[in-house]
Amino acid sequence: MTCWSASSPYGLEPPEQLKPGSPVVTYAAFAYQAGTWKGPRRVVAKIEWHAGELFPRIGFIVTNRADPPQGVVHFYNGRGTCEQCIKEGKYALEWMRLSCHQFEDNAVRLALFVLAYNLGNFLRRLVLPAEMARWSLTTLREKLVKIGARLTRHARQLILQMAEIAVTHELFEQILSRIRHLPPVPT
């Protein structure tokens, strides 16, 4: 961790050696008071220098935490990850649609949304192939769950014919095989 110094005001002097793929990151903290604030507040800055870029990437966080600058950035990055999960649940599963009139009914509906969210994450983390593991829950829903299919009856068989627009037959078989090979839940 490098803090700003008088010889390099605000840490904005580019480093001498920049290697592709490994940015040079510096952190700093300072007090700042905006015109509408009653008093100065602590601001933490993260400055990233990337090879091939003319200017650094600078991020600022206004905080009341007393941690070192790197710890503050780490804390808020974790918080941002959590907020992204909440946003993904809201938009992919629409779990804000609690349109029932009774509290208990809405509680059951929300529990079902949370179950669906956890099932989607279970699929992503444990059974999806590498090329699908980074898909959002919205993409999973649209390409894996909401696909066209036809159920055909032949003599003593039922055949489910599914569209191969987003997920090929081989990819779907690979997902089913991974589900079959999951270890059983201990009882």
Q: Rounded distance, CA 184 to CA 106, Å?
A: 32
Dig out the tokens for 83 from the structure: 């907020």
Q: Which has more confidence, 72 or 89?
A: 72
Collapsing DSSP to helix, strand or coil, 123 comes out as: helix
pLDDT tens digits, 12-68 = 667 777 778 788 899 999 999 999 999 999 999 999 999 888 889 999 999 999 999
Q: Rounded distance, CA 115 to CA 135, Å?
A: 18
pLDDT grade, residue 90 (50/70/90)? confident
Assess whether pLDDT exceeds 50 at residue 2: no
Q: What is the pTM of this model?
A: 0.58
Question: pLDDT value at position 155?
Answer: 86
Q: Rg of the chain's alpha carbons, rounded to an integer?
A: 25
The amino acid occupying position 162 is M
Q: What residues contact residue 41 under an 8 Å CB cut-off, 6+ apart?
A: 31, 32, 33, 62, 63, 64
- Residues 150, 153, 157: CA angle, nearest 5 degrees: 115
pLDDT tens digits, 123-172 = 888 888 888 888 888 888 888 888 888 899 988 899 888 887 778 888 88
